Amino acid sequence: MEFLFQVKNATNQIVMNCADIDIITASYAPEGDEEVHATGFNYQNEDEKVTLSFPSTLQKGTGTLKIDFVGELNDKMKGFYRSKYSTASGDTRYAAVTQFEATDARRAFPCWDEPAIKATFDISLVVPKDRVALSNMNVVERRPYPDDESLVEVKFARSPVMSTYLVAFVVGEYDFVEARSQDGVLVRVYTPVDKAEQGKFALEVAAKTLPFYKDYFNVPYPLPKIDLIAIADFAAGKFWFSLQHRETALLIDPKNSCSSSRQWVALVVGHELAHQWFGNLVTMEWWTHLWLNEGFASWIEYLCVDHCFPEYDIWTQFVSADYTRAQELDALDNSHPIEVSVGHPSEVDEIFDAISYSKGASVIRMLHDYIGDEDFRKGMNLYLTKFQQRNAATEDLWESLEKASGKPIAAVMNTWTKQMGFPLIYVEAEQQEDDKVLKLVQKKFCASGPYTGEDFPMWMVPISICTSEDPTCAKMQILMDKPELTVVLKDTKPEQWVKLNLGTVGFYRTQYSPAMLESLIPAIKDLSLPPVDRLGLQNDLFSLVSWG
């Protein structure tokens, strides 16, 4: 393995990430000078690092590091591992696949395994000639391996600049179906042998999704191809230009699959393709900002599916699945903020949870609604254009959205991402001639009962208010940035009902005065209140009843 890099400060040591790997030899050759062989390899197993020691000082400048090593094709479902599957005749076989996110590229090859350290990758694989070999990029050469006629060497094109966790390679037995998106991108879905038919729905979704994201972000997909691969046992799937999925998240039997299975596949494909822009083109600076990668993709997958398949009514399912679950978990005393400071990479797996994904998606959805789609898209384009092929922090996105919208995005979002929990908004109404005066009070909501803490956490809450005049359109939108707020709804007659949180978009619960709640009953009975609003109202009431 070779690394072309620059020595910025003279040193006689090189420290790299390395796990479950034995280095045989290592040498460094400065540009235009003689090769220097490493004389010692000191493994720090607990930190998953190795220090290469050299007998002389490596001077500043460009050079090439060469390492020969022996690794392990493991059974841990991380790093470079073997995936077990059965053939149609019942024989057990294995594919060789990778899963590097968050910090397991170091199990496949020595490297600098941090998201902010990016490089281009030239990958070649020596594989049995009857197997399919895939990697991030397209194949540029396939030739017989000189030492063994049963093997071939497959060389792939140079990758764009990317982080190590995005590198992927797969060796196995696969069939595939293919199509081109309207932008000319070659899309392939690789399936187990004789199951190509089951990959057609995922192919349809991917071919529709790529143009949607290109138009939404106003940033083109940067390469001519993308592969989606169904793998029998797989833990996750975020790779640039080569997406790996569990079989159940990619394959659809056209004769026997139900609509919920199709929706699940559509959401998974939408999620992973979103990462091609948000996560891969622009990568988080450090794992502290992981929530933004996952929360954003978990929100926009629904936006994409709603665009491609409006008949799914997918946003009602979002409220039922992600939004409701996030509120249930975040109301517990043992919840945690969305954004968790990560010290050591080993902590990353601890924050891959429903708070990262579902609450993250819910607050991004609320943010999108607060900003408005047009300004949100402008802000996203600013962010992706400014930081493409680079790293960014959560604050960089807030800055871009703030610039596009003119609204205090960072101030608002910090109240949602840096503290756990969410508010309960108590509202009561008073009729004053032809106007309704609403008094709003916010307090932290707790599943165990009314909040009695000594501190007084507060959120900046975007609140939309609708009336029976038009249940689908906000009569007023406000930002509640204090514990109590009074607003006046002009020209709202006594017989008109008032409801907060149009579309169940705001990440808060609402407690209405008895009179306001009673006025909503006819709209629930005659179904004039939309399903997603009835669902939100039911969830809020049930959570308040559970206080006892």
In 3D space, the residue among 189, 164, 169 whose CA is nearest the CA of residue 98 turns out to be 169
Composition of the chain by helix, strand, coil, percent to 5: 35, 30, 35
Question: What is the Cα–Cα distance from 462 to 342, expressed in whole angstroms?
Answer: 29
Residue count of the chain: 548
User: Residue for token digits 């394959």?
Assistant: 251
272, 285, 339, 399: the catalytic one is: 272
Contact predicate 169/125, CB 8 Å: yes
The amino acid occupying position 308 is: C
**Per-residue tokens: 324:** 């409701």
Q: Is position 272 annotated as part of the catalytic site?
A: yes
Helix, strand, or coil here: 7? strand
Angle at 264 between CA 258 and CA 265, to 5 degrees: 95
Taking each helix axis from N to C end, the angle separating 200-217 and 259-274, rounded to the nearest 10 degrees, works out to 40
Other beta carbons less than 10 A from residue 9's beta carbon: 7
Question: What is the Cα–Cα distance from 270 to 205, expressed in whole angstroms?
Answer: 8
Quickly list DSSP for 62-129. EEEEEEEEE---BSSSSEEEEEEEE-TTS-EEEEEEEE-TTTTGGGTS-B--STT-EE----EEEEET
Helix (H) or strand (E) segment spanning residue 180: strand 175-180
294 appears as a binding residue in the annotation: yes
Non-local (6+) Cβ contacts of 47 within 8 A are: none
Non-local (6+) Cβ contacts of 279 within 8 A are: 238, 293, 297
Classify residue 322 as exposed, middle or buried by CB count within 10 Å of its CB (0-12, 13-18, 19+).
buried
Q: Which residues are annotated as a binding site for Zn(2+)?
A: 271, 275, 294
- Residues marked as catalytic: 272
